[in-house]
Amino acid sequence: MTTHKPLVFSGVQPTGNLHLGNYLGAIRNFVRLQQSYSCLYCVVDMHAITVWQEPAELRNATREVASAFIAAGVDPKAHIIFNQSQVPSHAELAWIFNCVARIGWLNRMTQFKDKAGSNREKASVGLYAYPNLMAADILAYRATHVPIGEDQTQHLELARDIAQKFNTDFSVPDFFPQPEALLQPEGARIMSLKDGAKKMSKSDPSDLSRINLNDDADTIAKKIRKARTDPEPLPEATEGLKERPEARNLVGIYAALTDTRAEDVLREFGGAEFSRFKGQLTDLCVVKLGPIGAEMKRLTADPAHVDAILADGAARARAISAPILAEVYDVVGFIRARS
């Protein structure tokens, strides 16, 4: 990995069912950023266990996310792909950040409220402290740019606050940078195929709500055919999508997969019935996702190979983060053995 370029860090949780939203909202962008940044792409298994994960499934899902990165076009030699738990700096720095961040800051995090729901008392402490670990993920490398979905902007703000408070508390003004979000353009948020008001999500109990990256052509066709729509044909202009979240979502997916805008899609399909549009959308999804799914299948069939890529990435990630963590320990006042 070349280190003269600005450093990007981003992660995906191995919580199973990687889907089109993860691809269009995150992984595809990871591939594009390789040109201009040095990139660390992390399978964040420690974040995943903030809610219960079956150990065997966690292992498989970790390999699946790593395979998706590679299948989509991330180069694990030129950049770094690894799983979080193999680099102790994340947990070590997170503990220090647990002591820097204030409870009041975490109390404001809307994702905790959403994910814990009405059962807050039963949520894990890890789910509550999750944003501190995310700050550690980024700052353990002094990464300056973080590609995130809009749902993560509040957590990134918190990472910036933690960086600043650490620098101020310990009188080390430039120790940690202020990481910046690399936000995707509007439309990168893909919604459930069953409910245009809910985002497409790994944890949605209905498999028909999402297109998984490893779905075969028949499954993709079935899911798009069954996707919720309304009885009207597609409008001629984007204003006509305003009150039609499901139509807007399908048009948005088509636009994202063809790297165009909703208005371009409507120029082609305005006035068309959904049956025709859904047929075209199916073909497009199969063409774009088929090769990724096939390559993921090939890679996950050889777990030892994927594990070796993760181990190599983790060793290179440790080489960047360990010296930074050693400096942090000195700043905080921890005694450590000198090599």
Which residue numbers are catalytic?
Answer: 115, 199, 202
Query: Using the rule CB under 6 A, is 25 a contact of ligand AQP?
Result: yes
Stretch that binds ligand AQP, among 12-20, 234-242, 257-265, 324-332 (CB under 6 A): 12-20
- Could you report how far apart the first and last alpha carbons of the chain are, in Å? 25
In terms of Cβ atoms closer than 10 Å to its own Cβ (0-12, 13-18, 19+), residue 186 is exposed
DSSP code per residue over 187-217: T--PBPSS-TTSB--TT-S-GGGS-BTT--H
Query: Using the rule CB under 6 A, is 189 a contact of ligand AQP?
Result: yes
Query: Using the rule CB under 6 A, is 194 a contact of ligand AQP?
Result: no
Query: Using the rule CB under 6 A, is 58 a contact of ligand AQP?
Result: no
Between 153 and 260, whose beta carbon lies closer to ligand AQP? 153
Please select the residue that binds ligand AQP; options are 100, 138, 190, 306, rule is CB under 6 A.
190
Question: Residue 271 is encoded by which pair of tokens?
Answer: 């006035």
Question: Residue 223 is encoded by which pair of tokens?
Answer: 């899911």
Query: Using the rule CB under 6 A, is 84 a contact of ligand AQP?
Result: no
DSSP code per residue over 50-102: TS---HHHHHHHHHHHHHHHHHHT--TTTSEEEEGGG-THHHHHHHHHHTTS-
Stretch that binds ligand AQP, among 78-86, 95-103, 197-205, 298-306 (CB under 6 A): 197-205
Please select the residue that binds ligand AQP; options are 7, 21, 49, 309, rule is CB under 6 A.
21
Q: Which residues contact 321 (CB under 8 A, 6 or more apart)?
A: 87, 89, 90, 140, 141
Tell which phi-psi region holds residue 284, choosing left (phi > 0), alpha (psi between -120 and 50) or beta: alpha
CB of 72 to ligand AQP, least distance (A): 12
CB of 3 to ligand AQP, least distance (A): 24
Between 27 and 221, whose beta carbon lies closer to ligand AQP? 27
Query: Using the rule CB under 6 A, is 149 a contact of ligand AQP?
Result: yes
Stretch that binds ligand AQP, among 89-97, 149-157, 254-262, 274-282 (CB under 6 A): 149-157
C-alpha span between 74 and 211 (Å, rounded): 21
CB of 171 to ligand AQP, least distance (A): 34
